[in-house]
Homo-oligomer: A and B are copies of this chain.
């Protein structure tokens, strides 16, 4: 199991700096490309003992590098093929309330507070361009949101990826 003896990583916003070596990176790549293979098959592919793979996986999870192996759901397949990014400008002091409001909108997939004129950046989805308008209306219909700006995503040439980052981290570490 993941939660047996290891302590949770000290998450202090940036203090976390883990040592990921080349084998870890290969492990991450392997499980990213073929999640279903299991520890046994992975040890064969990587040419290391099963116990090693098991230990590495445990460590990666204990260190927080690997958050988990949850299902990756495709919003488009759920009937929400339209993606958009909206920046919201918030009136001073209304941040907390706005957050709570945004959390209630299911089509809002994630939200960041950011620097710049827009205070919040939201990723939203909709079932159509027409529906997108409804979603935005629902999103913005709240006291404290001053101004909004929306970008509709046309294409996603580079979908979310992290393996190359893990490999970069491993290489950076190897080079000292």
Copies in the assembly, this chain: 2
Cβ of A92 under 8 Å from chain B: no
Instruction: State which of B13, B68, B78, B169 has its C-beta within 8 Å of the C-beta of A35.
Output: B68
Q: How large is the interface on A (under 10, 10 to 19, 20 to 34, 35 or more residues)?
A: 35 or more
- Complex contact A71–B31 (CB within 8 A): yes
Instruction: State which of B74, B81, B87, B121 has its C-beta within 8 Å of the C-beta of A153.
Output: B121
A166 to chain B, nearest CB (A): 6
Cβ of A154 under 8 Å from chain B: yes
Interface residues of A in 1-56 (CB under 8 A from B): 1-2, 9, 13-14, 16-18, 20, 28, 31-32, 35-36
Instruction: State which of B13, B20, B71 has its C-beta within 8 Å of the C-beta of A69.
Output: B71
Q: Would you list the 6 A-B pairs with minimal beta carbon distance, nearest first?
A: A14-B81, A111-B158, A106-B168, A114-B151, A67-B72, A64-B77
Supply 15 A–B pairs (Cβ within 8 Å), ascending by A: A16-B77, A28-B73, A32-B73, A67-B73, A69-B69, A69-B72, A75-B165, A79-B169, A80-B169, A85-B114, A110-B158, A111-B158, A113-B157, A114-B152, A123-B160
